[in-house]
């Protein structure tokens, strides 16, 4: 019974870890951040620059148009002045 508990605890912990992984930590996303003039630390602190820079970053990261990126950014609350 003790072994079953240990195994299930390990499996559960491994299953939970990917849920916290953010797509902003991939090499591609970090490259897109650099192209737009900010760092992952700035992104996490919500100090990534202007709305235009954030919109351009989202378009680069997700491979979508700038118009679609604006909608994604609004939905996710990534802009400081644009209303949802």
Which residue range is the domain that position 46 belongs to?
A: 23-79
Q: Could you tell me if residue 34 is inside a domain?
A: yes
Q: Is 84 a member of any domain?
A: no
Residue 34 has pLDDT above 70, yes or no: yes
Number of structural domains the chain divides into = 1
What's the pLDDT score for residue 11? 55
End-to-end C-alpha distance for the chain, whole angstroms: 51
Instruction: Report d(CA 34, CA 74) in Å as an integer.
Output: 22
More confident residue, 84 or 63: 63
Kindly state whether residue 5 falls inside one of the protein's structural domains. Answer: no
Read off the pLDDT of each residue in 30-49 and give the average, rounded to a whole number: 90
Domain-embedded: residue 2: no
- Mean pLDDT check: name the lowest of 1-5, 38-42, 58-62: 1-5
pLDDT of residue 81: 64
In a domain, 35, yes or no: yes
Is the model's pTM score more than 0.75? no
52 falls within a domain: yes
- Residue length, the chain? 84
Residue 73 covered by a domain = yes
Residue 72 lies in a domain: yes
């Amino acid at each position: 019974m003790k072994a079953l508990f240990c195994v299930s605890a390990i499996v559960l912990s491994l299953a939970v870890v990917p849920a916290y992984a953010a797509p902003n930590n991939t090499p591609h996303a970090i490259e897109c951040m650099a192209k737009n003039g900010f760092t992952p630390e700035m992104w996490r602190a919500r100090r990534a620059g202007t709305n235009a820079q954030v919109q351009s970053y989202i378009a680069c990261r997700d491979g979508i148009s700038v118009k679609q990126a604006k909608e994604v950014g609004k939905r996710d609350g990534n802009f400081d002045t644009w209303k949802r």
